[in-house]
A = this chain, B = another copy of it.
Amino acid sequence: MDFNLSEDHQLLSDSLRRFLAENYDIETRNRTAYAAPFHAPETWSALAELGVIGAFVPEGQGGYGGTADDVAVIFEELGRGLCSEPMLGTLLGLRLLAALGQTDLAARVIDGETRVALAVSEPQVACDLSCLQATARCEGDVWRLSGRKSAVYGAPGADLVLVVARLADAGENAALGLFLIHAPESIAAPMIDGGGIADIVLDGLQAECLSTDCAELVEDALDLGRIALCAEAVGAMSHLIEITIDYLRQRKQFGRTLASFQALQHRVVDMVVEREQCRSITIAAVAAYGTPAQARTVSMAKNLIGRMGSWIAEEAIQLHGGIGMTWEYPGSHYAKRLVMIDHQLGDRNDHVLRMIRLKPGAPPAEAA
């Protein structure tokens, strides 16, 4: 039992934290976060050079990491630094490219030359892949896609988009295929918490087929993405609580610092308790990744983080008062990120329902 970071992880975490602290202040961040292309190539190259992208993939597949632990270490720092670069989409896409043996493409993504995104969710599908409706049809040796994908993270400006689509004419239980398209047109917009998102209308688009049965791989990648989001939330809430405490210590009202009001103190304590709980459940999800308990534990984590992240964000704004409501104050952007994480890859309710589907009351993984 050991909860310390390994030496390598400590190094990676430190260098990433230092890089963001020194090169990525809130103004820099906000300049790219809310305007197309939602992405600063120089930041991206620097992150790639730090090894951030390569750490998403195992050595055998061209990377130098690839465990859930690697991913969590990185995303916690991205969260602490409120990095809005399209790292989530890259994680999801790269995992699939690499797992399906697209070594060359994967290598270019790892180097930061090429950006990839994963188009899986649809306007009516949050979490349950069996409800996907986009289809792929093979005509001669050409695959054509139809349907609409939404919430494609990092799609604006991506070089490659992987699309998950149901194989046509294969009936109810048709397998899910994975298809590659190059720099498709998309309906792009900034996210309210920063970063780019897009819908893609497939509409007969021609695509390269990478797999004709990818459901399990996609679910694994999504679970890893959920872990990444949880870790990002833990980083963001840690920073947000820190600056809330700082603010309460500085700000005076009625001749006393806000920090001296017991009612406010107790609320901060409750935030800290939940932050520790969020860190713990993320650790649990990391540990369960790749075990039979993966899906259920990841859903526990995503549920708890969804609830507590937005609660902590609301409390932080409230404890700041007016200043917490302003664009200029960095805390407001952290708060938005924490709330909106619950809208990515399934929310608290979606994941509670997934937990229930996966048998309620099963004993926790470790007890065995």
Q: Which residues of B contact A266 (CB under 8 A)?
A: 263
Distance in angstroms between the alpha carbons of A194 and B265 in the assembled complex: 39
Q: Which residue of B lies closest to A269 (CB)?
A: B263
A263 to B267, CA, bound (A): 9
1/0 per position for A171-204, CB-CB distance to B under 8 A?
0000000000000000000000000000000000
Give the complex CA separation of A266 and B318 in angstroms.
15
Contacts of A261 on B, CB cut-off 8 Å? Answer: 262
Contacts of A265 in B (CB 8 A): 263
State the majority secondary structure of interface residues on A: helix
Closest to A261 in B: B262
Within 8 A of B (CB), among A260-283: 261-263, 265-266
What 0/1 readout, one digit per residue, does chain A (231-273) give for beta carbons within 8 Å of chain B?
0000000000000000000000000000001110110000000
Distance between A69 CB and nearest chain B CB, rounded to angstroms: 39
Residue of B nearest to A266 (CB): B263
Give the distance in Å from the alpha carbon of A311 to the alpha carbon of B208 in the complex.
58
**CB of A170 to closest CB in B, whole Å:** 38
| A15, B265: Cα distance in complex, Å | 46
The interface residues of chain B lying within 8 Å CB-to-CB of A263 are: 262-263, 265-266
State A209–B265 Cα separation when bound (angstroms).
64
A265 to B262, CA, bound (A): 10
Shortest distance between the CB of A319 and any CB in chain B (Å): 13
Q: Within the assembled complex, what's the spacing in Å between the Cα atoms of A95 and B261?
A: 54
Within 8 A of B (CB), among A293-318: none
Query: Shortest beta-carbon distance, A147 to chain B, in Å?
Result: 31
| CA gap between A265 and B261 in the complex, in Å | 12
Cα A261 to Cα B263 with chains together (Å): 8
Complex CA gap A266/B270 in Å reads 15
Output the nearest chain B residue to A265 by Cβ-Cβ distance. Answer: B263
Q: How far is the CB of A34 from chain B (nearest CB, A)?
A: 35
Docked complex Cα distance between A289 and B266 (Å)? 43
A261 to B266, CA, bound (A): 11
Cα–Cα distance between A261 and B262 once the two chains are bound (Å):
7
Whole-angstrom distance between the alpha carbons of A104 and B83 in the complex? Answer: 80
Measured between beta carbons, the chain B residues less than 8 angstroms from A262 are 261-263
How near does chain B come to A352, taking the closest CB pair, in angstroms? 15
A266 to B264, CA, bound (A): 10
A103 to chain B, nearest CB (A): 53
Tell me, in angstroms, the Cα distance from A158 to B263 when the chains sit together: 51
Q: Which of A261, A265, A266 has the most CB of B within 10 A?
A: A266
- A313 to B: closest C-beta gap in Å: 21
Q: How far is the CB of A250 from chain B (nearest CB, A)?
A: 20
CB contacts under 8 Å to B, within A12-41, are: none
In the bound assembly, the distance between CA atoms of A266 and B262 in angstroms comes to 10
User: What is the minimal beta-carbon distance from A138 to any residue of chain B, in angstroms?
Assistant: 45
Q: A193 CB to closest chain B CB, in angstroms? A: 30
Name which residue of chain B comes closest to A260, CB basis: B262
Complex Cα distance A97/B262, Å? 57
Distance in Å: Cβ of A30 to nearest Cβ of chain B: 35
Q: Which of A261, A262, A265 has the most CB of B within 10 A?
A: A262
Where the two chains meet, the residues of A that have a C-beta atom closer than 8 Å to any C-beta of B are 261-263, 265-266
6 contacts between A and B (CB under 8 A): A261-B262, A262-B262, A262-B263, A263-B263, A263-B265, A263-B266
Top-6 shortest CB links A-B = A262-B263, A263-B263, A263-B266, A262-B262, A261-B262, A263-B265
